[in-house]
Chains A and B, each alone.
Chain A
Amino acid sequence: MKWLKELSVARKFYLIVGLIILILVFGLVNFWFSMRIMSATRAYVNGEGLWSKAQKEAVISLIKYTTSSDESEYRNFLLYLQVPTGDMQARLELEKTNPNLALVRPGFIQGVNNPSDVNDLIFMYRQFRHVSYMDAVIQIWAQGDQKNEELMHVAEQIHTIVLSHSAKRALLLAPLVTSVYSLDNQLTVLENSFSATLGEGARRIRDILFLITIVLTLMLGIIAIVTAMSIGNIISQVDKAKSEFVSLASHQLRTPLATMNWYLEQMMNHKTRSGKQQEAYVEEVSRASKRMVTLINTLLNVSRLELGTLVAAPQKVVLPEVINQVLEDLHPQLLGMKMVVEREYQEHIPPLMADPKLLAIIMQNILSNAIKYNKKGGKIIVKTLFIKNKFIISITDDGIGIPKNQQKKIFTKLFRADNARRVDPEGNGLGLYIVKEILHVTGGTVWFTSKENIGTTFSISFPRGGMPKRMGKKG
């Protein structure tokens, strides 16, 4: 989950908004689905009602026919049975692997279902055919159709007997009428079972959809809370960074400032000074002033890195030139520590696409560490290589090294190793942090090996393409 932390503020926001949209879409789909299912269930309940009524009316007509012998009653019987027959036609067609909907629809219409319900009836059948309760319901339906066929069969026998005008008519009809009643009872049981099962299934679906809705609402709620906390966190982080910056800046600037003030005070009081002494004093003021500029630039770079507004303007640079320039700038420190620098620049290195200012900052930080955390007369070896399509710069010193148990934290912002603190208590702990962050955003890498009191080697690498162009806001 570390990548989550390393996302920029903007990306975190898109992620959160994306999640919210996803959940809303999911919720809408859930809603549509629920409505469809509930609507289809109602259509089936409706359809069952019409089926049962028609079946009962058919039986009533048939019984009347057995006593009245009125052919119109027989015709009514046949008409009423058309309703369940229509439904059966639809059912049989839907059972096929590729049902022809042009045959299904008229079936349901014949079943007296409302035309606008037909789509829902088809949807439910096709999507949920094998779901437990739908399956049970369809089995019952099939049994009902079976009973209707038997009823039809009995009715035909009755019809034949009535039409024959036989004298033994009553005797012959009696067992058939008993059959009719028996079938009617069986059909009643099936019709009730159909309703009960459909009702149970509908209730279960309602509960499931209710559960889904609650879960979605909870998820949305949790995301909302997490978002709010996140935003609060970000705001307090930014605040903390700002006040850290102000605190750091004012603390660190006080020393060169005090130096400048005191030298100026000396120059301004009325004691006569030699030209040489005045010159020396002016020199110190100038140095202190430069230190403040450097410090402010360092702090601004840190700020830019944290806000993601660092600008990189790569151009073709000749690595040895950049490094030599930095060493030149560090000459006073090298002299003061009486240090020796060995350069091993590989010949024929192609130019590197890099922002010279950023590259200089990186080199300056590492080299000044190599000088500062060392003894007098120490040695620094600087190498540049182009190998396996990568640029490598390495700086080796024989200084105080980094203690093993502190090596993991060396690139952390404001971190100072204990032995470094003893050498320079006032270092700001930002140098290596800046190096790592600049390389991170410009496509390079940095690593090191070190042994306490023996020395340290820092290595930097860039891919063949060097630094990409990076537009940031002016910050």
Chain B
Amino acid sequence: MQESKKIVLVTEDEPPMLQVLTDALSESGFKTLQAKDGQQGLVIALQEHPDLILLDILMPNMDGLTMLNKLREDTWGKHVPVIILTNVSSDTDPVIQAIVKNQPSYYFVKSDVKLEMIIEKIKHILGKIK
């Protein structure tokens, strides 16, 4: 039985970052959706119901944490796994709190993580949920 490809929504406001994440995910066999800010991300997520969401924190229009909170208010949105990509430093505490509050969620520091580690993690999470 052929498994349909898993769908990952990448929400990131920096175009080059959005592009390279999307490319890497496609090459690893995932279907990808793109969003340039929290507002767009929320709309697409609730519409398309991706299997996992990659979420940037600092975005215009609606930031990542606000989008995450709103997402969790939705019946479907409550359970979708989210990986937060952050630059840490000053946004550590609210990020950590949000992650703890909004399970299931994980986080990576962008400059400290390799693409392959992110993809490993995604496969791991989606592997557990079958």
A residues contacting B by CB (< 8 A) are 247, 250-251, 253-255, 257-259, 261-263, 265-266, 269, 271, 281, 284, 287-288, 422-426
Contacts and interface: CB of A to CB of B under 8 A. Distances in A.
A287 B21 CA distance: 17
A425 B60 contact: yes
A255 B24 contact: no
Interface string B72-85: 00000000000000
Contact of B17 (A259, A423, A424): A259
B63 A425 contact: yes
Contact of A254 (B13, B61, B111, B114): B111
Nearest to A426: B58
A258 B90 contact: no
A250 B24 contact: no
Given A266-B23, A288-B16, A255 B115 contact: no
Contact of A259 (B14, B63, B114): B14
30 contacts: A251-B90, A253-B111, A254-B111, A255-B87, A255-B110, A255-B111, A258-B87, A258-B111, A259-B14, A259-B17, A259-B20, A261-B111, A261-B114, A262-B17, A262-B20, A262-B21, A263-B16, A263-B20, A265-B115, A265-B116, A266-B20, A271-B27, A284-B16, A284-B19, A422-B60, A423-B60, A425-B58, A425-B59, A425-B63, A426-B58
A424 B87 CA distance: 16
Nearest to B110: A258
Contacts of A250: 89
Given A247-B89, A251-B89, A287 B16 contact: yes
A197 B109 CA distance: 88
B90 to A, nearest CB: 7
Contacts, number: 63
A216 to B, nearest CB: 50
A259 B17 CA distance: 6
A344 B88 CA distance: 45
A10 B95 CA distance: 43
Nearest to A269: B116
6 nearest interchain CB pairs? A258-B110, A254-B111, A258-B111, A251-B89, A254-B87, A425-B58
Contacts of A426: 58
A263 B87 CA distance: 17
A247 B90 contact: yes
Interface of B: 13-14, 16-17, 19-21, 23-24, 27, 58-61, 63, 87-90, 109-111, 114-116
Contacts of A259: 14, 16-17, 20
Contacts of A288: 16
B18 to A, nearest CB: 10
A272 to B, nearest CB: 11
A284 B60 CA distance: 22
Nearest to A287: B16
Given A255-B110, A265-B116, 19 more contacts: A247-B90, A250-B89, A251-B89, A254-B88, A254-B109, A254-B111, A255-B14, A255-B17, A255-B87, A259-B14, A259-B16, A261-B114, A262-B20, A284-B16, A284-B19, A287-B16, A424-B60, A425-B58, A425-B63
User: Which of A251, A253, A288 has the most C-beta atoms of chain B within 10 angstroms of its own C-beta?
Assistant: A251
A423 B62 CA distance: 10
Nearest to B86: A254
A84 B20 CA distance: 112
A254 B24 contact: no
A427 to B, nearest CB: 10
A472 to B, nearest CB: 30
A255 B87 CA distance: 7
B93 to A, nearest CB: 15
A419 B110 CA distance: 26
Contacts of B21: 262
Contacts of B19: 284
A262 B89 contact: no
User: Which of B16, B17, B23, B110 has the most C-beta atoms of chain A within 10 angstroms of its own C-beta?
Assistant: B16
Contacts of B61: 422
Contacts of A422: 60-61
A338 to B, nearest CB: 16
User: Which of A247, A262, A271, A426 has the most C-beta atoms of chain B within 10 angstroms of its own C-beta?
Assistant: A262
Contacts of A254: 87-89, 109-111
Contacts of B114: 261-262, 265
B58 to A, nearest CB: 4
A288 B111 CA distance: 13
A423 B63 CA distance: 11
Contacts of A271: 27
